[in-house]
């Protein structure tokens, strides 16, 4: 079964840092680009960041550029999101998502269950 | 950034009726348009990609159409499990989502 499982969310103060993880199984991890997508409470979906299958290309939404870093460890089939200088507006449920054909600009056929990040003092 | 606008924000439909959801892009996205369904407390589920291709396991009552800047998701006969929020997403020029359409019971 193809599966993505996020972890690492929690409560953090403004200006703090957090690292999210997404463990994948059931597919050849290195063949697929992956993204992080977030959803603020009661709001819609917002793409955050993407990384190519090999990890050599990374992309970010303007809202997180310079603060967040996406990475992956293909030997561990795990995706990461390092979040620094967190702000209240980063509060959201963070999903990792797998692309259909593997390119970074693609639809997402598999989503994790999400990990909750709350930025508050 | 390509802005995706969905309408209406809320659609009230009776079970068994047809539902038509719209999605407009601020510039052409070719056929690179997907639709997702999200129920409370659940992750989004891919319904349609490439404008009109149903994802694995998606019932035939869901269909997508359009091109360029105007797209439509049609649910031919609403079942109880179809009441949810629907999002469109373009992936022609990076990745942006529409604001969603909530399909509620009339």
Tens digit of each residue's pLDDT (9 = 90 or more) over B45-89? 999 999 999 999 999 999 999 999 999 999 999 999 999 999 999
Establish, for the pair of chains A and B, how many residue pairs have beta carbons separated by less than 8 Å. Answer: 53
Share of chain B above pLDDT 70, in %: 100
Q: Confidence band (pLDDT; 50, 70, 90) for A104?
A: confident
Task: Tell me what the mean pLDDT of segment B1-29 comes to.
Answer: 97
Of B43, B56, B92, the CB nearest to A111: B43
Which chain B residues touch A if contact means CB-CB below 8 Å? 1, 32, 34, 36, 38, 43-46, 49-50, 55-56, 87, 89, 91-100
Q: Is the pLDDT of residue A102 over 90?
A: no
With CA atoms as reference, the chain B residue closest to A36 would be B95
Is the CB of A106 less than 8 angstroms away from the CB of B56?
A: no
Average pLDDT, chain B: 97
What pLDDT does A101 receive?
A: 87
Task: Tell me what the mean pLDDT of segment A55-60 comes to.
Answer: 95
CA A22 to chain centroid: 7
Q: Confidence band (pLDDT; 50, 70, 90) for A81?
A: very high
Q: Confidence band (pLDDT; 50, 70, 90) for A117?
A: very high
Task: Tell me what the mean pLDDT of segment A26-38 comes to.
Answer: 97
Alpha-carbon distances, residue A106 vs A40, A115, B14 (angstroms):
22, 22, 33
Task: Tell me what the mean pLDDT of segment A4-30 comes to.
Answer: 98
Share of chain A above pLDDT 70, in %: 100
Judged on CB neighbours under 10 Å (0-12, 13-18, 19+), B63 is middle
What pLDDT does A115 receive?
A: 98
3-state secondary structure labels for all residues of chain B: CCCEEEECCEEEECCCCCEEEEEEECCCCCCCEEEEEECCCCCCEEEEECCCEECCCCCCCEEEEEECCEEEEEECCCCHHHCCEEEEEECCCCCEECCCEEEEEC
Task: Give A7 to chain B, closest Cα distance, Å.
Answer: 15
Task: Give A59 to chain B, closest Cα distance, Å.
Answer: 9
Task: Give B32 to chain A, closest Cα distance, Å.
Answer: 8
In sign, the C-alpha dihedral spanning B86, B14, B75, B24 is negative
3-state secondary structure of A27: coil
With CA atoms as reference, the chain B residue closest to A39 would be B43
Enumerate the residues of chain B whose CB falls inside 8 A of the CB of residue A44: 87, 97-100
Q: Is the pLDDT of residue A114 over 90?
A: yes
Task: Tell me what the mean pLDDT of segment B13-33 comes to.
Answer: 97
The conformational region for residue B10 under phi > 0 = left, psi -120 to 50 = alpha, else beta, is beta
What pLDDT does A41 receive?
A: 97
Q: Token pair for residue B78?
A: 């609403």
Query: What is the Cβ-side half-sphere exposure of residue A81, based on CA atoms within 13 angstroms?
Result: 33
d(CA A26, CA A79): 15
Which chain A residues touch B if contact means CB-CB below 8 Å? 35, 44-47, 50, 59, 62, 95, 100, 105-109, 111-114
What pLDDT does A103 receive?
A: 86
Of A45, A46, A108, the CB nearest to B46: A108
């Amino acid at each position: 079964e193809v599966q993505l499982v996020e972890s690492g969310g929690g409560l953090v103060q403004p200006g703090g840092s957090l690292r999210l993880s997404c463990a994948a199984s059931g597919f050849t991890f290195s063949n697929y680009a992956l993204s992080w997508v977030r959803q603020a409470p009661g709001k819609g979906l917002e793409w955050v960041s993407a990384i190519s299958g090999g990890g050599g290309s990374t992309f970010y939404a303007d809202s997180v550029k310079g603060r967040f870093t996406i990475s992956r460890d293909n030997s561990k089939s795990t995706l990461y999101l390092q979040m620094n200088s967190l702000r209240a507006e980063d509060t959201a449920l963070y999903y990792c998502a797998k692309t259909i054909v593997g390119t970074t600009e693609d639809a997402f056929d598999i989503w994790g269950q999400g990990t909750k990040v709350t930025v508050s003092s | 950034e390509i802005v995706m606008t969905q309408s209406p924000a809320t659609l009230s439909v009776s079970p068994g009726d047809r539902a038509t959801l719209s999605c407009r892009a601020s510039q052409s996205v070719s056929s690179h348009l997907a639709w997702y369904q999200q129920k409370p407390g659940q992750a989004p589920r891919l319904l349609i990609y490439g404008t009109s291709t149903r994802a694995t396991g998606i019932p035939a009552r869901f269909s997508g159409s359009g091109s360029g800047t105007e797209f439509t998701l049609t649910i031919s006969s609403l079942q109880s499990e179809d009441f949810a929020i629907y999002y469109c997403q373009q992936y022609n020029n990076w990745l942006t989502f529409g604001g969603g359409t909530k399909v509620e019971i009339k």
